């Protein structure tokens, strides 16, 4: 028995040593430049995701893509991505108004979840961990995408439907913004009673900037990619359910290589529409990447038997009041608190329902109809959505409402615009029970 145990232990040691030697020393050299369009060696369990591949438009710089052994979530290494001013690869350099307007450092998974579709489609679980250092900021006024579930050959749809010409086929993406980390979905859908499809972008603030830096963000995603109403997306980050979307999450299908489209996951840093001016380097780390068909086979950092629910634990009808609040940046004092409008809403079986919208020229009905309430920690409630105070194109905001246990009301303030040098513009929400 002791002899057998010794053989097992030696075998395990040999495996560990063998695994450690599988990454050649040249790849660990900080001056090494990875070749585009080739596999990227990774020793950790990826579930059924297959191997990593290096994007064909990867920037060819030694800092662009590296193994990291200091900032690690699990195992021996994490993956370090970096982009610097005007970094671009062969396919991106010609894009935009100048060389370096677009650039990236990206890996991707190419193995299809289902043979019936071209890439992933249907139900799946995904997991990864992301670390954003303090010094990494978004590129203004351009964009920085840190991960995306993207279709291949989406131009086939764009040629058929004019309404979908802006649809890049990103079913779910993650974008860095001055307010924090956003999710976004590009949807060009056609319901049974529609002759032509309509295009829309759903974006949502997942984590405010002050809560996302210098720590590991553990993502767990349960999704049913679908062209029908049975689709859903649920996103957990660390100990909270951050986002939930039910319904169609895949644009009007097309046929490529005899199959309807699915998505491949790309991750790293992808910049677009940068201005021709100096920018700070951006660095992001990824680790603990898995895909599978069940939570238990996928999650490393989440308890599958006790995943937080999005059901809000209050019931009844409420008056939801909106206020425009300006705060002096130097003194942190409120210099303006203006009532805008109130709506009649209710919470029923854990869900938020709008019964009647008030009339307002400042916050449009269009956006208020789409706001989402989720369950926060310590009995708090979180509102996410666009509010469009006095101009088009505003980003989504997040308002965390805390309970007042004396009268069962909730109140909170979220930053709408912080670009003014002497003040910040905020939205204050007050939920007051009506019975």
Q: What is the pTM of this model?
A: 0.87
Cα separation of 179 and 211, whole Å?
A: 10
Are 161 and 197 in contact by the 8 Å Cβ rule? The answer is yes
Give the model's pLDDT for residue 393: 56
Cβ count near 302 (within 10 Å): 19
Give the model's pLDDT for residue 394: 67
Tell me the average confidence (pLDDT) per consecutive run of 10 residues in the chain, 435 residues long: 42 38 82 94 93 95 96 96 96 95 96 91 97 94 95 90 85 94 94 87 91 97 96 95 93 93 97 93 97 97 93 92 94 93 93 92 82 86 79 75 87 87 91 91
Give the model's pLDDT for residue 391: 52
Phi-psi region of 261 (alpha: psi -120 to 50; beta: other; left: phi over 0): beta
All domains in the chain, ordered by first residue = 26-306 (2.60.120.200), 316-433 (2.40.128)
Give the model's pLDDT for residue 182: 94
Cα separation of 327 and 233, whole Å?
A: 36
């Amino acid at each position: 028995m002791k002899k057998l145990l010794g053989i097992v232990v030696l075998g395990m040691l040999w495996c560990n040593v063998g695994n450690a030697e599988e990454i050649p020393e040249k790849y660990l050299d900080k001056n090494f430049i990875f070749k585009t369009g080739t596999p990227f060696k990774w020793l950790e369990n990826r579930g059924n995701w297959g191997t990593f591949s290096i994007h064909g438009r990867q920037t060819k710089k030694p800092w662009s893509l590296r193994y990291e052994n200091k900032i690690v979530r699990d195992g021996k290494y994490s993956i370090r991505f970096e982009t610097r001013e005007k970094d671009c690869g062969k396919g991106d350099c010609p894009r935009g108004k100048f060389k370096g307007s677009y650039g990236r450092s990206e890996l991707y998974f190419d193995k299809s979840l289902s043979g019936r579709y071209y890439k992933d489609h249907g139900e799946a679980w995904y997991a990864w961990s992301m670390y954003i250092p303090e010094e990494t900021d978004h590129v203004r006024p351009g964009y920085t995408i840190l991960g995306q579930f993207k279709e291949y050959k989406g131009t086939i749809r764009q040629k058929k439907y004019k309404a979908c010409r802006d649809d890049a086929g990103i079913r779910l993406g993650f974008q860095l913004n001055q307010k924090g980390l956003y999710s976004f979905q590009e949807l060009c859908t056609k319901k049974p009673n529609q002759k032509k499809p309509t295009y829309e972008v759903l974006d949502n603030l997942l984590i405010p900037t002050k809560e996302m830096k210098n720590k590991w963000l553990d993502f767990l995603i349960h999704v049913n990619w679908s062209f029908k109403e049975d689709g859903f997306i649920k996103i957990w980050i660390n100990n909270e359910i951050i986002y939930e979307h039910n319904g169609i999450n895949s644009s009007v299908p097309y046929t490529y290589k005899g199959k309807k489209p699915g998505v491949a996951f790309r991750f790293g840093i992808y910049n677009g529409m940068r201005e021709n001016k100096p920018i700070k380097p951006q660095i992001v780390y990824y680790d603990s990447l898995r895909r599978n068909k069940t939570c238990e086979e996928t999650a490393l950092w989440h308890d599958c038997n006790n995943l937080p629910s999005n059901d809000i634990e209050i019931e009844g009808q409420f008056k939801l009041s909106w206020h425009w609040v300006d705060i002096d940046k130097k003194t942190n004092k409120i210099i303006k608190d203006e009532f805008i409008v109130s709506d009649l809403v209710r919470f029923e079986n854990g869900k938020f329902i709008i019964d009647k919208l008030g009339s307002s020229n400042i916050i449009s009905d269009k956006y208020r109809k789409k706001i989402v309430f989720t369950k926060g920690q310590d009995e708090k409630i979180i509102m996410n959505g666009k509010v469009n105070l006095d101009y088009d194109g505003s980003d989504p905001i997040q308002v965390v409402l805390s309970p007042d246990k004396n009268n069962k009301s909730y109140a909170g303030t979220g930053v709408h615009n912080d670009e003014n040098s002497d003040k910040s513009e905020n939205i204050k929400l007050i939920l007051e029970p009506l019975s």
